[in-house]
């Protein structure tokens, strides 16, 4: 048993990473890994431990995803701290290492698509091993992963040079917002910049529209707390920002770039508008 426990512990980090990418929750990922350990203790014999554990964790995650899809999600506070029984800093580090935009996009996939994509594209599991997890043929599993890949790796109507410029401006804006750097914000915002926002994104009584670099910059400094959950992504084909504590999309910034500066941005927080956004990944 000690040898089995040692071999399981050697797989734990990989299994947790796999489960986190499938579930987007550190607590649920840990539960999935623990369930695999319990099942391993009840198993008669296991020839290929790594493959067996990958299959078990994947099946547990698939059940969780299907259950999650079947029930209505609870409302999520924009600035709420994690309530799972995990270290918030550790979960933040984990989300950053995976990529918040990736978690947002994965969250939009169906359960089978998500499992197929994570197993094949992120963990190089062959389709003949993915098929039994999903109760599909290898060819069907391959189609699921391909469909997920197309939804994740979106394109943009912008020419490559413009896309790169827009990303550079948005990255500079995010860096300044995270640091609360007023001078850097003034440098990246156009003098006549406009900030618009859904009422759900603002404190009661706050203006839905703010104009001018100084006013927008000072307000954006307050955004710094949320900016630590933010990452650039494509929103309907344009470079924008997703804000995703624990990998769940709660805000999106639709950014308009003019030259080398932010000409305007809109904070989208209305659930219906967020659900209608087509979020995809920017290429590395």
Residue 216, domain CATH:
3.10.450.50
Q: What's the whole-number average pLDDT of the chain?
A: 88
Same domain, 88 and 65: yes
Residue numbers of the domain that contains 143: 2-152
Domain count for the chain? 2
Same domain, 60 and 122: yes
Same domain, 70 and 167: no
Q: Which of 103, 129, 152 is the last residue of a domain?
A: 152
- The per-residue pLDDT for range 185-228, each reduced to its tens digit, is 999 999 999 999 999 888 888 889 999 999 999 888 776 677 88
pTM: 0.81
Residue the block writes with tokens 């198993």: 43
The answer to whether the CB of 241 falls within 8 A of the CB of 250 is no
pLDDT of residue 139: 97
Same domain, 7 and 139: yes
pLDDT of 83 above 50: no
Same domain, 69 and 188: no
Q: Distance (Å, rounded) from C-alpha 280 to C-alpha 236?
A: 8
Same domain, 53 and 95: yes
- Max CA distance (Å), the chain: 70
Q: Alpha helices of the chain — where are they, by DSSP H?
A: 2-23, 26-42, 49-70, 88-98, 100-107, 111-117, 127-134, 138-152, 160-179, 182-188, 213-222, 224-227, 271-276
- The per-residue pLDDT for range 138-151, each reduced to its tens digit, is 999 999 999 999 88
Residue 79, domain CATH:
1.20.140.160
């Amino acid at each position: 048993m000690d040898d089995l426990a040692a071999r399981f512990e050697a797989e734990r980090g990989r299994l947790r990473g796999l489960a986190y990418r499938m579930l987007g929750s550190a607590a649920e990922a840990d539960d999935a890994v623990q369930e695999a350990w319990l099942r391993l203790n009840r198993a008669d014999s296991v020839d290929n431990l790594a493959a067996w554990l990958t299959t078990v964790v994947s099946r547990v995650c698939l059940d969780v995803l299907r259950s999650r899809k079947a029930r209505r999600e609870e409302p999520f506070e924009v600035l709420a701290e994690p309530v799972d029984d995990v270290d918030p800093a550790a979960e933040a580090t984990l989300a950053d290492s995976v990529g918040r935009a990736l978690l947002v996009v994965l969250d939009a996939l169906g359960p089978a698509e998500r499992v197929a994509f994570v197993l094949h594209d992120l963990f190089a599991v062959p389709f003949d091993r993915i098929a039994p997890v999903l109760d599909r043929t290898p060819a069907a599993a391959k189609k699921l992963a391909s469909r997920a890949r197309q939804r994740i790796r979106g394109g943009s109507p912008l020419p490559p040079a413009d896309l790169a410029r827009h990303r550079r401006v948005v990255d500079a804006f995010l860096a300044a917002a995270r640091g609360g750097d007023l001078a850097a914000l003034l440098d990246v915002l156009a003098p006549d910049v406009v900030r618009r926002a859904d009422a759900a994104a603002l404190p009661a009584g706050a203006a839905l529209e703010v104009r001018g670099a100084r006013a927008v910059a000072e307000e954006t400094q307050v955004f710094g707390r949320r900016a630590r959950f933010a990452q650039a992504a494509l929103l309907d084909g344009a470079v924008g920002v997703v804000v995703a504590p624990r990998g769940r999309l709660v805000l999106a910034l639709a950014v308009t770039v003019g030259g080398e500066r932010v000409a305007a941005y809109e904070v989208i927080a209305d659930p219906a508008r967020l659900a209608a956004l087509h979020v995809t990944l920017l290429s590395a």
